Amino acid sequence: MLGGIMEVTVNKLAGSEVEITGELAAGEFAAYRPEAIKQLNQANNVPGFRPGHASEAALVAQLGEEKILLEMAELAFQKFYPTLVTEKKLDVLGRPAITITKLAKDNPLGFKIRTAIHPEFNLPDYRQLAKKANEKPLVAVTVEEKEVEEVLAELKKNPKFEAMPDLKDKVKADLLRSKGQKQKDKRRLEIIGAVVSQTTIDLPFILVEAELNKMVAEIRAQTEQFGLKFDDYLKQIKKEEKDLRAEWRADAERRVKTALVLAKISEVEKIGAPEAEVETEVKHLKEHYKDAPDERLRTYVVNSLVNEAVFRFLEEQK
C-alpha cells in the first residue's frame, strides 16, 4: 500500500510504456473534497450567493455531484502521481494518459494510468560521427547587391520607414548572419541525423502521439491565423486529420527520437543548463507569456539550453 493507494499494479507494455492500475482509498479520496469545493466555488457563480461563497449543497445542485468528484480526482492525481512514480522507481516521460475506472461519492477512486518511460538504448560513437561531419568545410556565405536592394525595397514600403545611417551595411550584415546561421543549422542537422540514424530505440507510443498532436495544433493555428477554418482547410486539400497524422508519423517519430538522443548525450556528457541562465530566460518569457505556468516555461527553457549546449559540444568534435 502506497499512502492511501491500494493494490497498485504496474505492467510493462510495448513501446517503452507502462500501465499503472490501482485505487485511492475512499478516505484519502474524500480528503480532496474541501479543496475541490473551494476551487469550483471560485470558478462558478451560483445565484443567490456572493462569488466564492456558495454553500456546498448549492454548488452541487448547480454543477452536479460528478463535477465535484472529477475536480477531486484531478487534485488527487496532481498530488499522488509524482509520489507513485517515485516509489515505483519509474523514469517517466511526458504527460500520462489517465483513465478513471471508478468514481463515486464515499468510494475509492479507481484509476488506470498509461505513461511512457525512458527507453533503454545505446548510443553509437556520436563523437566520431560528429567529427566526421565537421571535417567537411562549411560553404562560405556571400550577399549580392541585388539581395540587399530587395530588402531595402521591402522596408521602404512601410509607411513608418525612416532612413538610418549605414542602413545598407546593416541590412547586408543581417543577411550574412542569417545565411551563416542557416549553414550552421544545416551542419547541426547533418550531425544529429547521423547519430539518430545509427541509434535503435523502442519509441514510446504516447510521445509520438503527443508530437503528432503538436504538429496538428501548429497547422491548425497557422490556418486560423489566415482566417481559414481548419475543417475548411482539410476540405481544400481533400484530406482528413487522420490522413495528415499518417503522413506525418515518420517525421513525428524522427523528432521524438532526436529529442531522446540529445537528452541521452547530455546525460552521458553531464551537460546541464546554468541555473542563473535558466532563471533569466524564464523571467524573459514570462513577460511575453504571462498566463503560461512557470513549471512549463522552466521545462522549455532547460530543454532549449541543454539542447543548444549539446549541439555546441558536437560541433567542437574535430
Render pLDDT for 148-178 as a digit per residue (tens, 0 to 9). 999 999 988 888 888 788 899 999 999 999 9
Residue 218 lies in a domain: no
Q: What is the pLDDT of residue 22?
A: 93
Residue 203 lies in a domain: no
Interatomic CA distance for residues 227 and 231, integer angstroms = 12
Residues of the chain with pLDDT under 50: none
Q: What is the pLDDT of residue 2?
A: 64
CB 59 within 8 A of CB 68: yes
Q: What are the φ and ψ backbone dihedral angles of 6, each rounded to 5 degrees?
A: -115, 150
Which of 117, 138, 155 represents a domain boundary (last residue)? 117
Three-state secondary structure call for residue 271:
coil
Instruction: Find the domain containing 292 and state its range.
Output: 270-318
Q: Which of 32, 54, 28 is nearest to 42 (CA)?
A: 54
Q: Which of 158, 112, 148 is nearest to 18 (CA)?
A: 112
Cα end-to-end span (Å), the chain: 54
Q: Give the domain CATH number at 41.
A: 3.30.70.1050
Residue 253 lies in a domain: no
Q: Which of 55, 82, 49, 84 is nearest to 68 (CA)?
A: 55
Residues 6+ apart with CB under 8 A from 231: none
Which grid cell is 295? 513549471
Residue 239 lies in a domain: no
Residue 310 lies in a domain: yes
Which of 65, 91, 117 represents a domain boundary (last residue)? 117
Q: Which of 152, 240, 139 is nearest to 187 (CA)?
A: 139
Q: What is the pLDDT of residue 160?
A: 82
Residue 38 lies in a domain: yes
Which of 74, 95, 117 represents a domain boundary (last residue)? 117
Residue 306 lies in a domain: yes
Per the structure, the count of domains in the chain is 2
CB 104 within 8 A of CB 4: no
The helix/strand count (H/E) of the chain reads as: 12, 4
Residues 6+ apart with CB under 8 A from 282: 294, 297, 298, 301
Residue 291 lies in a domain: yes
